[in-house]
Chains A and B, each alone.
Chain A
Amino acid sequence: MVQTHDILLTLSGVGKSFGGTVALTDIDLTVETGKVHAFVGENGAGKSTLGKLIVGVHSLSEGRMEVDGTEVSFTSPAQALDHGLAGISQELSLMPQRTVLDNIALGREVMRGPFINARATRRGVEAVMERYAMHVDPDARVGDLPIVEQQKVEILRALSRDARLIVFDEPTARLPSDQVAPLLALVRSLADAGKAVIYVSHFLEEILEATDTVTILRNGRHIRTGPTANETHDSLVEGVTGSVLGEQYPEVAAPDRAAPPVISVTGLSRPGVFENVSFDIHPGEIVGLAGLVGSGRSEIARAILGADPSRGKITFNGREISGSIAARLAGGMAMIPENRREQGLMMGRPIVENVTLPHLSRFSGALGLDRRRERAAADAHCAATEMKYASLNDHADALSGGNQQKILFARTTLGDPALLIADEPTRGVDVGAKRSIYDLIAGLAKQGKAILLISSEIEEILGLSHRVLVVSRGRIAGELEGAALTETALMTAAFSGT
């Protein structure tokens, strides 16, 4: 197919600030049809903000934006959509209770007088599926679909509204690793169909593999834009961080296997979810819990914390435990949950409250909370994670995605836990910050803490763990260590039970 690349969108001198926070300054950029255009940059660099300006979620503070050469100014996503600009947000904005058909057709139903013409509406939706060769069961309930399919529904919704430009903000951050390739293929097919695609991601491999043009942002400024073919992994890292990064993974010291285990799990079961899970973690040991999404990894973690009921024996610091979550946290457990928005953070509360929530007893005395001491502690631990924020009073939702994740790390280190269960700890975190989180984890291990690391990124598991347990269909399907710990062995075990 012969591709023509027309300039669809032009930004000149664009800036955006939120109150006192400057998110973007003086951005000049063009976006062409038929190409996949990547935005890369550190957490808080302004990638999401730029995407949101384009799709009308935010409005410009400065500069101008042109679509097809005519100036536009949006005050709502609906207006952007009228010009063919649509976004696939990281937190999907679908109605989980309704069917795929309802979600795609919402607001676009074919009417017959005052009534919806159900058959024609369905035909319209099916035609769009046909045209882009993207098929999802129209009658399935969206909430029951896996995330990839839900993303497809969002894309179809944009396409059925004749979107010409689609912004993907970290679409693979929540995807299991085996579903990344299909999504990238889909993104490519959209560009081949003549759409302009903007693609935001922290995974540089994806950028190199699947995009045509790349724009690097740093601290709200435009560093450079050029063909992806001219970039390498290292040149991107350098552009993003402003410096050359060494090794991706830190050295991890050997664990103390002679010492009694920090935690020992025996015959842990939760009917229908996981069965007969047993393992030990020794002081200073990082144990990876690998497996496909849905294999039961996160559920095992939750059971250890006491968030879900389970049967079996958990011995922690030499004592058998069965108490409440609060008791386990007080005893020295900590967990970074899988989904920071739903399970981790209070988005509408100040950063400081988010950091100290599980540790308030330390700051409480006869006179109530010592807020000065609380702030000082929160401040110190936020600084240690290199979090970027204007004030500890800012609400969590004013931070960029990666910086929100760091709130959870600050919360963890403040607690000085004996066992850290980290479920997808680097989700949405930039390359530089990933390294600092790895350092944090390795540092905790060095201090003799036990770490249970759950991740869908195989590299991360391989790069950090001393030992890996592979979960498949709720059972431990393999234990890999030393020379046996390879990607192939891991994947074989992960798929063994399926």
Chain B
Amino acid sequence: MQKTILFARNYGILVVTVLLLVLLTVTTEGFLTERNLRNILDQQSGVLIAASFMTMAIITGNFDISVGAVYVTAPLVALFVENATGNIPLAVLAGLAAGVAMGVINGLAVTKLKVHSFIATLSTSFMFFGVGYLVSDRAVMRPITEGWRALARTRIFELTSATWIAIGVTIVAAILLTRTRFGRNVYASGANREAARLAGVNVDRVQMITFVLLASAAALAGVLGASRAISAQPSDDFSFIFAVLTAVIVGGTSIAGGSGAIWRTVTAVFFLAFLTNGFNLHQIDPIWQRLIQGFVILVAVSIDAWSQRRGG
């Protein structure tokens, strides 16, 4: 019994994802086709990139709501530079630099001003959205170069460049978290901040780095999104952050900090993507989709809470 609980706790998300995969393969024609799976990968690339580093931030015990705003604003900065110079590498760098800057602001707010990360990044979200309106002059921005669309849409061995970048970023994040000293310090900072500090971990620096990495990843995801859409537009749209947070939490990374894993988040991204894909293939009414999706998330999170109580 204890063994089963332990297994369910560790691999539950993997099991349900595989079950869903089997279910959709059996019940639909179109699911298990190369084309469909390639599409899913391409569509999820942005969420994967940001969710990997969101996992890291949540393991340190922090939230970052501003990821949604970085995702909206960084590509506007990039396109602003692209429009001005026509230089794509420079534009991408500018977008990423904007991400780094926004990450530093978040990090400072949390480590120096000692504001709770949820509140801090909710506040900075509005600032970052504001910056987006400023650089775009409240209008949709479009690239002036032909090459811009190639950023996300180049095909390499059948997969889009966005997919490859997402795979690369996810692997880097996972290695950082599981194979390096920095990764251990991330877990330690979230598991017991005071104990980590007394053991010589520079907890503030660890938090700062995770915020910067996360905002840079969100900026990269935003730039790729703007390449795929061949445009970017300012908004107050929080939907990206919700997609990212949902994946991390459904994956079972504890919002209390100190535990979680990137493979879990990745699995959850696919679980949620399969779910949406399955709805579409089965042509389920979008209203029902919402209801079912919300229910599934609640179930996933409550199973997690239950198993944590059991395990403790």
Stretch of B48-56, B188-196, B236-244 at the chain-chain interface: B188-196
Contact A353 B187 (CB under 8 A): yes
Q: Closest B residue to A357 by CB, please name it.
A: B199
Task: Give bound CA distance, A358 to B196, whole Å.
Answer: 8
Contacting residues of chain B (295-312) with chain A, CB-CB under 8 angstroms: 312
Contact A364:B2 (CB < 8 A) given known A326-B200, A343-B198: no
Contact B198 A337 (CB under 8 A): yes
Contact A325:B195 (CB < 8 A) given known A349-B258, A360-B184: no
In the complex, chain B residues whose CB is within 8 Å of the CB of A328: 200
Contact A348 B191 (CB under 8 A): yes
In the complex, chain A residues whose CB is within 8 Å of the CB of B191: 346-349
Tally of contact residues, A, Cβ under 8 A: 33
Q: Closest B residue to A346 by CB, please name it.
A: B191
In the complex, chain A residues whose CB is within 8 Å of the CB of B180: 364, 368-369
In the complex, chain B residues whose CB is within 8 Å of the CB of A411: 199
The answer to the question of B179 belonging to the interface, with a C-beta cut-off of 8 Å to chain A, is yes
In the complex, chain B residues whose CB is within 8 Å of the CB of A479: none
The answer to the question of B155 belonging to the interface, with a C-beta cut-off of 8 Å to chain A, is no
Contacting residues of chain A (27-71) with chain B, CB-CB under 8 angstroms: none
Task: Give bound CA distance, A330 to B199, whole Å.
Answer: 10
In the complex, chain B residues whose CB is within 8 Å of the CB of A353: 184, 187-188
Q: Closest B residue to A302 by CB, please name it.
A: B198
The answer to the question of B259 belonging to the interface, with a C-beta cut-off of 8 Å to chain A, is yes
Q: How far is the CB of A316 from chain B (nearest CB, A)?
A: 15
Other-chain residue from B2, B175, B181, B192 in contact with A360 (beta carbon distance below 8 A): B181
Q: How far is the CB of B188 from chain A (nearest CB, A)?
A: 6
Contact A330 B200 (CB under 8 A): yes
Task: Give bound CA distance, A371 to B175, whole Å.
Answer: 13
Interface string of B164-193 (1 = CB under 8 A from A): 000000000001000111011101100110
Q: How far is the CB of A364 from chain B (nearest CB, A)?
A: 5
The answer to the question of B3 belonging to the interface, with a C-beta cut-off of 8 Å to chain A, is yes
Other-chain residue from B2, B181, B258 in contact with A348 (beta carbon distance below 8 A): B258
In the complex, chain A residues whose CB is within 8 Å of the CB of B2: 17-19
Contact B184 A369 (CB under 8 A): yes
Task: Give bound CA distance, A345 to B193, whole Å.
Answer: 10
Task: Give bound CA distance, A419 to B103, whole Å.
Answer: 39
The answer to the question of B229 belonging to the interface, with a C-beta cut-off of 8 Å to chain A, is no
How many interface contacts (CB-CB < 8 Å) are there between A and B? 79
Q: How far is the CB of A237 from chain B (nearest CB, A)?
A: 33
Contact A19 B198 (CB under 8 A): no
In the complex, chain A residues whose CB is within 8 Å of the CB of B188: 346, 349, 353, 357
In the complex, chain A residues whose CB is within 8 Å of the CB of B27: none
The answer to the question of A380 belonging to the interface, with a C-beta cut-off of 8 Å to chain B, is no
The answer to the question of B202 belonging to the interface, with a C-beta cut-off of 8 Å to chain A, is yes
Tally of contact residues, B, Cβ under 8 A: 26
In the complex, chain B residues whose CB is within 8 Å of the CB of A492: none
The answer to the question of B140 belonging to the interface, with a C-beta cut-off of 8 Å to chain A, is no
Q: How far is the CB of A390 from chain B (nearest CB, A)?
A: 13
Contact A369:B195 (CB < 8 A) given known A18-B2, A324-B202, A357-B188: no
Other-chain residue from B175, B179, B199, B312 in contact with A397 (beta carbon distance below 8 A): B312
Task: Give bound CA distance, A346 to B185, whole Å.
Answer: 11
Contact A346 B198 (CB under 8 A): no
The answer to the question of B201 belonging to the interface, with a C-beta cut-off of 8 Å to chain A, is yes
The answer to the question of B6 belonging to the interface, with a C-beta cut-off of 8 Å to chain A, is yes
Q: Closest B residue to A345 by CB, please name it.
A: B195
The answer to the question of A307 belonging to the interface, with a C-beta cut-off of 8 Å to chain B, is yes
Other-chain residue from B179, B195, B258 in contact with A342 (beta carbon distance below 8 A): B195
Contact B195 A344 (CB under 8 A): yes
In the complex, chain A residues whose CB is within 8 Å of the CB of B312: 397
Task: Give bound CA distance, A406 to B3, whole Å.
Answer: 27
The answer to the question of B197 belonging to the interface, with a C-beta cut-off of 8 Å to chain A, is yes
In the complex, chain A residues whose CB is within 8 Å of the CB of B195: 337, 342-346
The answer to the question of A361 belonging to the interface, with a C-beta cut-off of 8 Å to chain B, is yes
Most B CB within 10 A of own CB, among A17, A348, A411: A348
In the complex, chain B residues whose CB is within 8 Å of the CB of A307: 197-198
The answer to the question of A335 belonging to the interface, with a C-beta cut-off of 8 Å to chain B, is yes
Q: How far is the CB of A301 from chain B (nearest CB, A)?
A: 11
Other-chain residue from B3, B6, B183, B196 in contact with A357 (beta carbon distance below 8 A): B196
Contact A325:B258 (CB < 8 A) given known A19-B3, A369-B180, A397-B312: no
Task: Give bound CA distance, A353 to B197, whole Å.
Answer: 15
Q: How far is the CB of A440 from chain B (nearest CB, A)?
A: 19
Task: Give bound CA distance, A344 to B188, whole Å.
Answer: 11
Listed by A's residue number, 23 A-B pairs whose Cβ atoms lie within 8 Å are: A18-B2, A19-B3, A305-B198, A307-B197, A307-B198, A324-B202, A326-B200, A328-B200, A344-B195, A344-B198, A345-B192, A346-B187, A346-B188, A346-B191, A346-B195, A353-B187, A360-B181, A360-B184, A364-B181, A368-B181, A369-B181, A369-B184, A371-B179
User: 6 nearest interchain CB pairs?
Assistant: A346-B191, A368-B179, A326-B200, A358-B199, A329-B200, A19-B2
Known: A343-B194, A346-B191, A360-B181. 13 other contacts (CB 8 A): A17-B2, A18-B2, A307-B198, A326-B201, A344-B198, A345-B192, A346-B195, A353-B187, A357-B184, A364-B181, A367-B179, A368-B180, A411-B199
